[in-house]
A and B are shown apart, each in its own frame.
Chain A
Amino acid sequence: MSKRYKSKKILVKTEYKFLAVLMILMAAGLFFLPEKIDNEGINPEEFVLNILKSDRYISTDQLAERIIDQDPTLLLIDTRSEEEYNAFTLPNAVNVPLEKLLDEDYVSYIDQDNYDVVLFSNDNYFADQAWKIGNRKGFKSVYVLKGGLNEWFNTIINPKYPDESMPETAFKLYDFRKAAGMYFGVGAPKSETKKAIPKKVITVKKKKKRVAEGGC
């Protein structure tokens, strides 16, 4: 009786031994696995696709409109140096110099979901690079002001009067830019000119309504 029990015990033991040794070997194998290589943020293929898209750009006109409308979701980030920021910047812009973009104190301005972040610099070169770094890290809803402050001054602050041969839209755009320029403090804004512009906007809206009526 006792002999039989003993032999059974040995049999069971060898079975378990085999499994136990196997497990230990596999566990030991873990030490020799190559270091896990993974991409931080997004992977290169996705990055290329994002770079090629141009939907990150926002025009100066779009930006001016959003500032004038006092869009609460807009957050302007000035990626230039502190001196340049102190000399001139867009209204309510926050200064995040390019080199400090990923610093703990500043990164939270860019890496969040509550605002549409618009990056700008003198041209759009630095802003675009900041966007690319942010995109690599997987930051969402970040935009770049196309043309930067140079374009801002050429279009909003000092717009070019359109040629007579240009289409009506060019004149409308000019009017909008002039009005926007006044909002940002160009010239001595007089009440009559200020009134004239909202009137135009109203007529445009009426037109749209008529189209819908016609479509009945």
Chain B
Amino acid sequence: MKELEKTKRISISAVLFLLIIIIGFLTYKKPKYIFKNSAETTLKEIVKKDYIVSANQLNSLNSSDYVLVDVRSVYDYDKGHIKDAVNIPLAQILTDDSSAFIDNMMNENKTVILYGEDPDEASSAWILLYQLGYENIKILSVKPRFEDNKLYVDNVTIEKPAMNFAEVMKKATSSSGIAKKTKLAKADKSKAAKKVIIVKKKKKRVPEGGC
């Protein structure tokens, strides 16, 4: 009798043990998108800067070797885009359609060249895709803008200082000519500003009265 109970207990625990393992396998979910390149390798790639393509370099490329991808919103894309560009908004890169498209391009050995509102936006998409393991991807250093309903694509030099900061600072701190001018300007503004303040006071008194 005792032995029977013992074997029963053993078989019950064995069944439970198996069940737990089966449930574990069934509920195990593999993440859909995985970062294949670490932050460190991505940083190394960023510093190399050879993923940046200028408009001139683009013209010298064979158009069958690359595909342009516009990462701006659908609205901006519909307003106007570079010829033959495909629209994949940044927010929709991690969708089945987009990754299928990019996979296709990679299989065809085409370079995907990204551009956005500015190189920052394109670089966001680039960092994401590079970390996901796509390496044949570049960005176009341009800034599209609209004028009279026409799309203009300006070249941008990334991280170019607008001036020699140290020199400008030196001049600004030493030269008295600039200082005088600013002082004059300041007298004008302070008057203007004061006037406006008075107007505001009046406005505020009205709600006080209402209380």
> Of B120, B124, B173, B211, which contacts A214 at CB under 8 A?
B211
Contact residues in B for A203 (Cβ distance below 8 Å): 197
B193 x A44 contact (CB < 8 A): no
A52 touches B90 (CB 8 A): yes
Answer yes or no: A141 CB below 8 A from chain B CBs.
no
Map CB proximity to A onto B173-211 as digits: 1 under 8 Å, 0 otherwise: 100101100110110011011001100110010011011
Select which of B38, B120, B169, B179 is within 8 A of A157 by beta carbon: B169
B208→A214 contact, CB < 8 A = yes
Contact with B along A125-147 (1 / 0, CB 8 A): 11011001100110000000000
Interface residues of A (CB under 8 A from B): 8, 11-12, 15-16, 18-19, 22, 26, 37-41, 43-45, 47-48, 51-52, 80, 84, 87-88, 98-99, 101-102, 121-126, 128-129, 132-133, 136-137, 149-150, 153-154, 157-158, 161, 168, 171-172, 174-175, 178, 181, 185-188, 190, 193, 196, 200, 203, 207, 210-211, 213-216
Given contacts A44-B94, A132-B127, A188-B176, 4 further A-B contacts (CB under 8 A): A40-B35, A47-B128, A48-B94, A137-B39
Within the assembled complex, what's the spacing in Å between the Cα atoms of A183 and B211? 42
Question: Is B26 at the interface (CB under 8 A from chain A)?
Answer: no
With beta carbons under 8 angstroms apart, the residue of A11, A41, A128, A161 that contacts B39 is A41
CA distance A16 to B3 in the complex (A): 13
CA distance A157 to B119 in the complex (A): 26
Given known pairs A157-B169, A211-B204, the reply for A45 and B94 (CB within 8 Å) is yes
Residues of A within 8 A of B204 (CB): 207, 210-211, 214
6 pairs of A and B residues whose beta carbons are closest in the complex: A187-B179, A88-B165, A214-B208, A44-B33, A88-B166, A150-B162
Whole-angstrom distance between the Cβ of B196 and the nearest chain A Cβ: 4
B2 to chain A, nearest CB (A): 10
Query: In which size bucket is the chain B interface?
Result: 35 or more
Complex Cα–Cα for A188 and B177 (A): 10
Contact assessment for B165 and A87 in the assembled complex, using a CB-CB cutoff below 8 Å: yes
Which residues of chain A are near B34, meaning CB under 8 Å? Answer: 37, 39, 44
